Structure 1
């Protein structure tokens, strides 16, 4: 494993990379309205976001990255703002969040791209139809994101 993907003290190794962009309802959100993960805490998104539970390693990893880049206090403020914008209590996996957008339960979520790809190529028509209603936005491209 190249040195760039190893902890200098040997505590961890980077073995894979997953893209976790913002997914949005194509008919209700314009890509120009989106910008960063941090912006998801803005009050204009109140009642618009669906998420997996905080015990998801994907969400934990995002919060850990925010702490590294912004510190604990700023990340806590951001997390509280994000939670305040939830359309419903967290539940389900990434595919469930995509289906929730298609059903009109929310307008935004974070999901790993391979779940969306799996739905697009699924033999299940309902998964294909849900995936077709969702756009992909790559946040933070000029700063700390993907």
Structure 2
């Protein structure tokens, strides 16, 4: 395994933090995503998800080559990508409204909690992807969990803005 694959797969070794490396990976995604958004706005953030997915897929393949465990806990790039997907509505909303993304802090919390819930519980398509037992499945289960979380974030934002305000 290459050092680069380990660096990417563990997200600068965050994946070695215990307990719950997946949660640490999701937490690390928040300041990383914020930094990317601050540097280049929504579209750089969106591009980073796509590039990160393919780099993560490669790193996961490299890190699991010749191993029985195709989803070792130290690989957390999948959590970062899934968490970023869950944050898309928050970052897009801030960009669309021309406000600081930090003003949408309830969306950050919802995205984090919902993504972790879908990632841990693995309902429906999330579980299907997880059962693939290969590098693509490692990445896809978190992508799908991120999509489910993002849909829920949009629903919660709509409920708050249309019903409660």
Structure (1 or 2) with the greater helix fraction: 2
State the TM bucket, normalised to the shorter chain.
Answer: under 0.3
Structure (1 or 2) with the greater strand fraction: 1
Q: TM-score, normalised to structure 2's length? A: 0.23
Indicate the structure whose relative CO is greater, using CA pairs within 8 Å and at least 6 residues apart: 1
Q: TM-score, normalised to structure 1's length? A: 0.25
